[in-house]
Chains A and B, each alone.
Chain A
Amino acid sequence: MITNYSKNLYKMMEQIKMKPTETKKKSSGLLAPVKNFMKNTEGNDMVNQPAYRVARYTNTIRNKRMEMKNNDGNETA
């Protein structure tokens, strides 16, 4: 029987791999394609899932925490 589901959820969120945010610059010319119809958008579905969004939040907070820890370590050392 699962009793500590907080732990399971935390471990699960840790395993979700973050996708790098696309920072592709769109061409602004008049003849530039408005939409790429051949682009595979199936992979983007994952990004909209609640679990993925939560994992992103968790990662952000964890990174901040690690950053703070490292800074403290450098200051004390």
Chain B
Amino acid sequence: MMETKQPRLDAPIPGMSLTHELGARPWQQPAQFPTVEDAVEHYTSRMMSDEFSDQLIDIMDMGIPLTTIANTIQLAGVMEGKHTVDVGLLLLPVLIETMMLIGDSAGIKYKTGLDDAPRSDRDSLAKRTVEKLKNEMENKDDDVEDIDITEDTPIEEVEKEEKPTGLMARRS
């Protein structure tokens, strides 16, 4: 049975998300952990839990830099009203170091995001794409070579007859 289209009258008005009472958002309330010590204790105890560390190891294994992960964690904390922005920024080195500790204890390789890679060494997106395509082409060629062509399969050559396109051309 087809659903009949009806106008949705309870849809949000554009810009509605930007208009809210002051203090209604969690970050507009007093922070849950006002000092650096409180916030560090909260995060370290949370990060040391098995559930969190397992997820973290998966993410680190994917090659995401620790600086990015730390920034995401602290930003989420600010949005949830756990701590203020300045406490969040001060927390960053502690979060990075804790993640390094977890990564080392798990014995995985991770990207810290702290290395100063020179500009020239950085691969641009275009360069990487070209290399990826080259690799794919090489792999394809290898696959073609690998195919066993013992059976003689006649290859039908299809010749396309060029049709005359002139005004005086014959029509069939």
Please give the residue numbers on chain A whose beta carbons come within 8 Å of chain B beta carbons, in ascending order: 4-7, 9-11, 13, 50-51, 53-55, 57-58, 61-62, 64-65, 68-69
| Chain B positions 32 through 55: 1 when the CB is less than 8 Å from some CB of chain A, otherwise 0 | 000111001000000000000000
Q: List 23 A-B contacts (CB under 8 A).
A: A4-B113, A5-B71, A5-B92, A6-B68, A6-B70, A6-B92, A6-B96, A6-B113, A10-B93, A10-B96, A50-B36, A50-B87, A51-B90, A54-B93, A57-B36, A57-B40, A57-B94, A61-B94, A61-B98, A64-B101, A65-B97, A68-B101, A69-B104
Complex alpha-carbon distance, A27 and B15, angstroms: 69
Smallest CB-CB separation from B87: which chain A residue? A50
Question: In the bound complex, what is the Cα–Cα distance between A4 and B116 (angstroms)?
Answer: 11
In the complex, how many angstroms separate the beta carbon of A56 from the nearest chain B beta carbon? 10
| A10 with B36: CB separation less than 8 A | no
CB < 8 Å: which of A7, A64, A69 contacts B113? A7
CB distance from A11 to the nearest CB of B (A): 7
Chain B positions within 8 Å of A55 at CB level: 93
User: Is there contact, CB below 8 Å, between A61 and B97?
Assistant: yes
Interface size class of B (residues with CB under 8 A): 20 to 34
Q: Which residue in chain A gives the minimum CB-CB distance to B96?
A: A10
A-side interface mostly = helix
Shortest Cβ gap from A24 to chain B (Å): 25
Cβ contact within 8 Å between A65 and B101:
yes
CA distance A50 to B70 in the complex (A): 19
Are B113 and A5 within 8 A (Cβ)? Answer: no
Residue of chain A at shortest CB distance from B102: A65
* 8 Å CB contact of A6 from B37, B67, B104: B67
Pick the 9 closest A-B CB pairs, nearest first: A6-B67, A61-B97, A13-B93, A58-B93, A10-B93, A65-B101, A6-B92, A54-B90, A9-B92
Instruction: Check if B97 sits within 8 Å of A58, measured CB to CB.
Output: yes
Chain A residues near B96 (CB-CB < 8 A) = 6, 10
